[in-house]
């Protein structure tokens, strides 16, 4: 079961393989401008019934796999994070003293399952499914926001070996995605906000791989997808979320066909040459997307890489930049909304040294983007206006440098990664026509991870991450407008408050950084392998802001409430004890 949409990362115990393609991906992938995560689930062991699991103070997981009979196997894996329950208990036992009363409540659960049936020596059937749900709520005493999202997928795949040189996969795939946001009060710098985004797809895909000789691997395929899109937006409600809430439902069909050749040109030069064509019925859009990547071996341990690709995306992610919470809305291309378009080029260098103990890689990239959408500055979310009338179109570009050093062999392993990047957008109707940074622009991104094995029983691990804070449009002041309430009674006035903001995304949250520590002890119990672990999340208790918003402080001098900038922190210092096992 291969998933290409942005989802909660599935349970690693359920995965056989995971592949991340950061940009300029081959022709077999389409419908996206950015990276692709290709995950392949385990098929279930054929030898015996087995499993693995774990339980800790905040989460539990269990994976079971094994043969059903001589021709079939199964795998099922599930997880549940119950941090919300533990935080509720902590506040119940020590009310007001637990330190989590201002921490938003979060939990998730997911389930993976797969069945593999061998029909004959040349035919196999695979049935797999994935289900997940994430829920994020404000602290109980605030009740300011509620966000939940989830994915469901099912995949029925038939693999047929036509000959030793050629095999095919025929797949019927169902996916269902939803993202819902409800915001109350002044947390959003507006009275209330609600948005919903739903995408339901049914896809039929035919893929083939052909191995004509040792120098070529040819892949080809076609897929047809029926989409059902649902979008709902509303703001400034009077009494409930039904007031001023507008929904828009659309359906469309897209068709894609691709071919690519992984070609070993010489012993030193390899390439992947491909082309992808697509048709999107809503708007009658058709285009071709050439793709090219190549690698050249400089020495036994050094390689240069170059890739370039044209890509289109029919879904537009639109966010409100004046709300610090996620407000993602996915809106499809239509006759009046063109698909997003990008051209990306990546140049890289890779080197192995000290007998392949260390791997170093460096990449530079540039990507141009057209037909991007943002809300207009004067967009109205409470009058029931057509959605497309609230959008404006612009362009953007992104470029950067990525460095990666990985120690792969020995008792001490780990990696250091650093990314320096810029992303900018330009809209004639926004920010006085000046360029601005989108919310997810991140200047610096650092990741340091290591693992150290002390003999056969003890293992230590640590990871530290750092990232530049998100950009958003921050209120900087308040102005009030007073108007007479009535023609003949000048003693009655009503006051309207409005915020004065920075330029578009002209403010950033403080940098995000944290340190996680792991201490693991391996032992046997009843002749089964166990692992006892102490995990410390956010070891130095960094108060990373999940969001900033305008709230109130009580002034004891004049006994009045005054507006002030408030912060929610998602996870504080959190030690947990866990036990994992295999059988």
Q: Mind listing the pLDDT tens digit for each residue in 246-264? A: 788 999 999 999 999 999 9
- For residues 219-252, one letter each, b for 16 or more C-beta atoms within 10 angstroms of the residue's C-beta and e for the rest, the string is bbbebebebebbbbbbbebeeeeeebbbeeeeeb
Q: How far apart are the first and last CA of the chain?
A: 25
Q: How is 534-554 classified by DSSP, letter by letter? A: EEEESTT----EEEEEEEEEE
Contact, 299 vs 352, CB < 8 A?
A: no
Residue 382 backbone dihedrals phi, psi, to 5 degrees: -125, 5
Residue entry with tokens 């990232």 = 467
Q: Which H helix or E strand runs over 270?
A: strand 269-280
Distance CA 344, CA 365 (A): 7
Which positions of the chain have pLDDT values less than 70? 1-12, 88, 90-103, 140-143, 185-191, 236-244, 382-384, 482-497
Q: Which residue has the tokens 């949250």?
A: 509
- The enclosing H or E element of 152 equals strand 145-163
CB 520 within 8 Å of CB 459:
yes
Q: Provide the pLDDT for residue 2.
A: 35
Phi and psi, residue 390, nearest 5°:
-95, -5
pLDDT tens-digit map of 476-528: 777 777 655 544 445 545 566 677 778 888 888 899 999 999 999 999 988 89
Stated length of the chain: 583
Name the 3-class secondary structure at 387: helix
Residue 362 C-alpha from the chain's centroid:
24
Residues facing residue 436 across a β-bridge? 425
pLDDT for res 4: 36
Contact 338, 286 (CB under 8 A): no
- pTM across the whole model: 0.84
State the DSSP H helix or E strand holding residue 175, giving kind and residue range, or none if neither.
strand 166-183
């Amino acid at each position: 079961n291969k998933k290409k949409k942005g989802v909660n990362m599935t349970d690693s115990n359920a995965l056989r393989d995971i592949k991340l393609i950061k940009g300029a991906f081959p022709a077999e992938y389409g419908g996206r401008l950015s990276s692709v995560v290709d995950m392949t689930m385990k098929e279930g062991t054929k030898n015996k019934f087995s499993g693995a699991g774990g339980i800790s103070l905040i989460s539990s997981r269990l994976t079971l796999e094994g043969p059903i009979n001589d021709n079939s196997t199964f795998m099922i894996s599930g997880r549940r994070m119950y941090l919300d329950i533990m935080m509720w208990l902590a506040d119940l036992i020590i009310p007001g003293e637990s330190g989590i009363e201002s921490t938003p409540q979060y939990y998730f659960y997911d389930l993976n399952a797969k069945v593999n049936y061998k029909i004959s020596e040349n035919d196999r059937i695979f049935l797999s499914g994935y289900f997940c749900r994430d829920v994020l709520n404000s602290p109980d005493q605030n009740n300011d926001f509620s966000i939940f999202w989830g994915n469901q997928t099912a995949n029925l795949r038939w693999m047929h070996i036509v000959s030793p040189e050629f095999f095919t996969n025929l797949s019927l795939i169902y996916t269902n995605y939803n993202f819902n946001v409800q915001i109350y009060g002044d947390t959003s710098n507006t009275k209330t906000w609600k948005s919903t985004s739903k995408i339901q797809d049914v896809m039929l895909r035919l893929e083939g791989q052909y191995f004509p000789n040792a120098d070529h691997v040819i892949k080809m395929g076609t897929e047809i997808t029926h989409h059902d899109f649902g979008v709902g937006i509303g703001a400034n409600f009077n009494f409930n979320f039904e007031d001023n809430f507008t929904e828009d439902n659309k359906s469309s069909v897209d068709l894609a066909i691709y071919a690519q050749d992984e070609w070993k040109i010489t012993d030193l030069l390899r390439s992947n040459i491909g082309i992808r064509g697509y048709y999107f019925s809503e708007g009658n859009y058709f285009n071709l997307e050439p793709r090219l990547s190549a690698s050249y071996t400089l020495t036994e341990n050094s390689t240069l890489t170059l890739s370039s690709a044209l890509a289109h995306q029919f879904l537009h992610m639109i966010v409100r930049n004046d709300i610090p919470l996620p407000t993602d809305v996915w809106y499809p291309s239509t006759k009046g909304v063109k698909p997003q378009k990008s051209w990306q080029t990546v140049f890289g260098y890779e080197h192995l040294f000290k007998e392949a103990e260390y791997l170093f890689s460096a990449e530079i990239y540039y990507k141009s983007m057209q037909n991007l959408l943002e809300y207009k500055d004067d967009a109205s979310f409470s009058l029931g206006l057509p959605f497309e009338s609230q959008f404006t179109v612009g362009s953007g570009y992104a470029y950067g440098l990525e460095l990666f050093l990985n120690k792969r062999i020995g008792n001490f392993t780990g990696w250091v990664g650093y990314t320096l990047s810029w992303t900018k957008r330009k809209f004639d109707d926004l920010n006085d026509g000046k360029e601005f940074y989108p919310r997810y622009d991140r200047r610096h991104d650092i990741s340091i991870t290591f693992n150290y094995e002390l003999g056969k029983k003890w293992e230590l691990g640590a990871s530290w991450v750092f990232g530049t804070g998100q950009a958003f449009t921050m209120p900087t002041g308040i102005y009030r407008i007073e108007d007479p309430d009535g023609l003949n009674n000048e003693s009655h006035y009503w006051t309207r408050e409005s915020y004065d903001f920075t330029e578009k995304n002209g403010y950033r949250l403080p940098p995000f950084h944290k340190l996680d520590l792991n201490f693991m002890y391996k032992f046997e119990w009843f002749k089964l392998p166990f692992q006892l672990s102490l995990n410390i999340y956010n070891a130095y208790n960094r108060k990373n802001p999940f969001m900033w918003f305008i709230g109130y402080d009580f002034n004891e001098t004049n006994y009045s409430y005054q507006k002030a900038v408030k912060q929610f922190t998602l996870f504080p210092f959190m030690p947990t004890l866990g036990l994992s096992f295999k059988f």
